Structure 1
């Protein structure tokens, strides 16, 4: 037996300091440690309540510990956990049917995260291009300020150099172009391009919606050059923008779509959706994952899809969005020296800091947290709001009150 192990390890007291002592410092988490949650309410170790407008970075869209999901997962836990990819299972088959019936796609591949979904999408796009056109067609084009994951491949495709520093040499045949710039796209997407990957709304890059004309132009250019168009909807998908996937309200259909985050409401799952023509190029043994599509994740995902992909549910997302945007417009109007004009789609919303407070989005969200409101940032200059899609009018009003209270404290600090 390891002498370092304590027989009471499962109940040993831990604090925020424990993170600094035993975990690799890839994050700088808040001082408070959440221990319990329900809906949009979170409680820390001291028993303090917080209103969560982060959804775990646009993940827990049906709220924490959603009773429907808890019940479904509990039943599946007591039925079948894991098999390995030598076998399929009923939940993943049902989820595959649900997603293909709800989208343009004919085929689904399941994995464990958004990064893995994008990795699969980019590998598939290259394999398709190599097979159909030859090895010269291998370049991948993405946008500056984009974010597509943290594997070496996906972080290199992402357009934020700060995430690749120190990890060189990086994968080759990658190009980055300005977002929403049609002329730059025309110049970059030539016959050697295998795939173009784009977020319909940039999340980590500052919550910047894609211009529908830009996305339509990408579709046309890809059609002309034979490139595969990949939409990264890891953050924007599964109801977040007010439609099941953002592409559906932008009227631009990709060849491959990636999803994760809200698909599992906190249970790890990712999905890559594509057409029969492209999907057949992932033949037996060409790609895989040990845990992807396991019965537990697929059960949660299926219940999420069935709950969110309903007209009344999605209409309420748009209604809640309008209320929050109205509040933020008033907030920015009352404090123009602090905030700019809010932007985004649905319940993925960015509130830019005004010139005098650029670089201080984190300072503002920390002030909000002290008052009991959890918010995100999208870079140093943008406050990001991504509440659960079930957010109530009362919770929207509470968030507005706390944000206003925080501004006064933030200015006075």
Structure 2
């Protein structure tokens, strides 16, 4: 784009301008990579000092961090209440989404005669749409995507390249499923009979509610009888595994390589950091948080924050980690104490003569009685 002056941006955003308003902005960029015609942003005190070395033309800045900014900031400042939110609004303006290469159904796609597509849908070459599939309005089915028999898709759904929806998957409105993801594959269920594993059918399918986004290379397995459910507004990163019969609540967020075993349930607003794992048939309460690589083996209460393997409440895990950091010092202290104890034992041995007479009896009358008895025996 031709670019805007910093002053023009300030007027559009309703921002307070400090610095040169005539600089031209043609793109948006992170602080370190920003050049003389880029706009960047600062939304916290931790990043404020990094503006001292930026080459950006201007920066969107939270009003709350003004005191933390370097005194001689080299770029113009646009002061707003929420710099990150304003920056996100400008992303699509300076970097608009890539437009579709074509509209309509490609003759190189396979669409079963019994499938029904809504208005203004785009089906790319190489896509496959099976029997009795129903697709809503304004959907995009990208190259190599497979939508098997009896799937239902709502409006404004995007299925990216090479994603696979197995039979009887139901997808809500405004859902995005990224490349290589597999929804509705058979769950990992077998019975061990007569020395061999016998497969258990999984016919429950998957339900993905409105406004869900699922990253690339993720798998969501079908339920055995009822569906595996991904709740409204949930965001799932790349390479996540959600096993059969799981029921995920609303507005959850799972980072990459999170894994849920079968029949896990979650409340609303649950967050899981990367590589957290949850054993089967457990429940994660509303608003709870799992830290990176947390290994969960029991239910997690509402609002709790768990870390570690096995996962424990954050405070308890912090105490364990802190104690572990002190182990080298503690070992040194123990060795010192052992040496001191040995020295004390050696000193006690030196103070006690080896051939000393035994101490007098505490009960002399009993000793006399024994002597009398001995004399009597000798006389006899």
> TM-score interval w.r.t. the shorter chain?
under 0.3
Higher relative contact order (CA 8 A, sep 6+): 1
Higher helix share: 1
Normalised to the residue count of structure 1, the TM-score between the two structures is: 0.20
- Normalising by structure 2, we get a TM-score of 0.21
